[in-house]
Structure 1
Amino acid sequence: MPTQRIDVIDGLRGLAILMVIYQHGYSIKAREVYTFFTGGYPWILGHAWMGVGIFFILSGFVLAMPFASGRSKLASSEDIRNFLRRRAKRLLPLFIFAAFVSYGFSMHAGAPQTRSLLLTLTTLTMFSKTNFFPLINGPFWSLAVEIWFSILCPFILAYMFRHNVVRALLAICLFSLVVRIAGTYFPFSNLQVNPVKDSVFGRLDDFAIGIAVAIAFVKGKLPKWGDMHAFAGICLILGTAVLWDSQLQMPKFATAFFNLGLQAGVVLIVVAALGSARFTQAVLSMWFLRLAGAMCFSLYCWHGLLIGPTMQANPLKFQSIVSFWSALVVISCFSYRFIEFPMKSAREIFFLKKVSPDSTASKLSET
């Protein structure tokens, strides 16, 4: 089955992975430089980690597309098993390979994290306070959430298809909001992300929103929003970052609602990009962004291992830039080509066929 892609969705995933890499490799230095030169507080510069939320929403969108279009079915237990087999084939080879390589890094450092490896491979890190950010590779926390969503996805899709989509979406959003409110009182070292608030149950609404947008897209019910709506979405995301900067002046439970701003912002951008936002479409359709989006799984797996203390201390130093990006690109290209898509040609996966949203509505398969 040939894979058809929506160029603007790949481009948005490309922006999301660049946000995450900036967060882990450059945000600390950027905040320090801003404060040094201005003497002011570095608003919004430390919250590009919200790119993970963008990934979650887009995952729901992409996984729902074949079912929303009727190209794939969830009519039987065999359909569910086939879906889970495809997701396992898509996610697990690189996930397992990268986990063992990460474990090798910990052994090389003289502190082998065997327990973390086992928790990572079983995705039980999501339920661990000490290993929620896996000690072998911290960014793997979101991959555990992604895998758990993949397990729940066919049941969520079936629930939404059998009931009114809006009512089902509201029920899921309310459930996740309650989980996040409870999670705000969970003591944890990280003020933004924790094992309760950001478990698959606390972030299930991200995926469900993506599913709902995909269903509306296929049915032709999305409004033809333009570039001003995309700009409004960007403003909502930036406003959410300001809220995170102000969280210490708010009640704890307030942070549970911050994700709503991110979700609304992403939906505005996605709907505008799938509609009539020509400038937004042109930006998101740039080849390098689309390729970064197509390769985001590989880029995500490796960037955390390659960002070390030396790079974080001097991320803008020429040597740091060359060594980090050359290593990241080479390793990611290798795993993208030979682990993620070993049966496809290099030309097919690196020189992506550009397609329009309208021509893809009934053709997109899981990627």
Structure 2
Amino acid sequence: MSKPKLDLEGYRAVAAIMVVVFHAYQHNRFGEHYRWPLEGTIWHHVLMHSDMLVDMFFVLSGFLLGLPYARAALGETKPKAARAFLLRRAVRLLPLYLVVVLTVWAMSNPMLPGDWRDLVLHLTFTHVWSDDKIFYTVGPAWTLGVEAHFYLLLALLGALAQRHCPPLGSRARRVAAMLAVLAGLAAVSLGYKWWAAYVRGFPTEAWSAWFNPLAKLDVLVCGMLLAVASAAGLRWPNFLARQAVGLLGAAAVAAGVALRYTSVHPTFSHTFFGIGITLVIAATALSKVRGPWWLRWAPLVSLSTVSYSLYLWHEPLLRVLDGRGALPAPGDPWAFPVTAAWLLAVSIPIAYASYHVIEASADRIMGAFDSAGRPREFYTALPPVTPARSPGGRM
């Protein structure tokens, strides 16, 4: 069974760019009532729904990180050690995260002890459970707090799947077991959303109620379902089937957008976004042929490599530029596009530098561990040397 050619780099790069553009747009609210710059135009609605692209990060995590576990649970590959998985994720997540959070926190708290509670929450990834700190220090870091919780969940689910799926015997039973567990997780997440919206009645400003890992779990599950489908061998037979899946995904995203203009709580729109984005990605990831050319376009692929640095650094840089008076005043007709262009022009080079100095350097840490995540023995003692003997048996 051939593995699909994923061609997913373009998606990640586009999502990162749109997050930067949206924060430039958000920065340019003006007036007593904080009016949005393009309010009353179609572009305002487009930008206000760009948060769906953050859901793409969770879908991609569920798919790309769940796929090796799904393959191992189906017996296609050797079992994956949870220790190695968590170590790789820590090496990928922590070095840049710690540098950015500690740098921004130190600049924001020049006098000790400073806001120590905020620092502790961010260093433990528990800021996602705090209404007043979830977007503090580094706003986009809330997604990393959610991701950290998801990594622990994926390691647990992967270990359980690898242990309990093989004894089920047939491939169909293994697939069914994984699908049943994922359906249960989705039901838990949707049940929580229903409780938070209609039973507990949390207000919109109760950010931790809508952006915590439980509220985003259904979106992660969408990516994990795609991982199971890919491991099970699902492939689109032709171009028309791939296009139909992609259009179905676009329709699901449109349904999520339309839901926001109804009385249904907006938290459920992200469920539709997750489904839609998963189908759009599936159109490419499960195709027997290569996807659209732009997904492999060299500049986008390159930008995808540094997208994590771009994602974490751009908001602090926006604040620095604003504090230095380098941005136009909100309310000016050209303030938003100039801010977006200037922010991208500054953030992208810094993202490349950050990637090579911090991320690429941190990746070398994995060289100190074997495939199971155990420290390599670089200084193992050599076996004792046996003295050579002459043919006659004498020294």
TM-score, normalised with respect to structure 2: 0.73
Counterpart position of 2:355: 336
| Counterpart AA for 1:315 | F
Distance 1:328 1:5, change over 3 A: farther
Q: Aligned partners of 1:242 and 1:44: how far apart in 2?
A: 12
Q: 1:311 to 1:186 in 2, by over 3 A?
A: farther
Q: Which residue of 2 aligns with 1:288?
A: 299
Q: Cα distance, 1:24 vs. partner?
A: 1.2
In structure 1, give the amino acid aligned to 2:69.
Answer: F
Deviation, 1:276, is 4.3
Structure 2 regions of 5+ residues with no counterpart?
30-34, 166-173, 365-395
Which residue of 2 is the match for residue 243 of structure 1? 259
Q: How does 1:1-367 map to 2 (within 5 A)?
A: 8-26=7-25, 32=36, 34-35=38-39, 42-70=44-72, 71=77, 73-74=79-80, 79-107=81-109, 113-133=115-135, 135-160=136-161, 162=165, 164-184=177-197, 185=200, 187-188=202-203, 190=205, 194-224=207-237, 225-244=241-260, 246=261, 249-251=262-264, 254-276=265-287, 281-308=292-319, 309=322, 310=327, 313=330, 314-317=335-338, 320=339, 323-342=342-361
**Separation in 2, partners of 1:32, 1:255:** 20
Tell me if the contact between 1:99 and 1:137 (Cα under 8 Å) persists in the aligned partners. yes
Q: How far apart, CA to CA, are the structure 2 residues paired with 1:324 and 1:255?
A: 29
Partner AA of 2:67 in structure 1: M
Deviations 1:331-358 (A, max 9, x none): 211221121122779xxxxxxxxxxxxx
User: Any idea what the Cα deviations from partners look like across 1:292-315, whole Å, max 9, x if unmatched?
Assistant: 222221111111112235468323
Work out the CA distance in 2 between the residues paired with 1:282 and 1:153. 32
Q: Please identify, of 79-88 and 159-168, the stretch whose mean Cα deviation from structure 2 is larger.
A: 159-168
Shift of 1:240: 1.6
Output the TM-score relative to the length of structure 1.
Answer: 0.78
1:229 to partner: Cα distance:
2.9
CA distance in 2, matches of 1:272, 1:126: 32
Residues 202-249 of structure 1, C-alpha deviation per residue, up to 9 Å, x if partnerless? Answer: 2122222212212221332143432343233234323322322x2xx5
How far does residue 48 in structure 1 lie from its aligned partner after superposition? 0.8
For 2:155, the aligned partner's letter is: P
Distance 1:22 1:328 in 2: 11
Cα 1:72–1:289 shift into 2, 3 Å? farther
2:28 & 2:288 partners in 1: Cα distance?
34
Percentage of identical aligned residues: 24
Secondary structure (helix, strand or coil) at the match of 1:8 reads coil
State the alpha-carbon separation in 1 of the partners of residues 137 and 92 from structure 2: 22
Shift of the 344–128 alpha-carbon distance from structure 1 to 2, 3 Å rule, reads closer
Report the alpha carbon displacement of residue 327 of structure 1 after superposing the two structures with TM.
Answer: 2.3
The more displaced of 120-129 and 201-210 is 201-210
Gaps of 5+ in 1: 346-367
**What letter is aligned with 2:263?**
M
Aligned length: 326
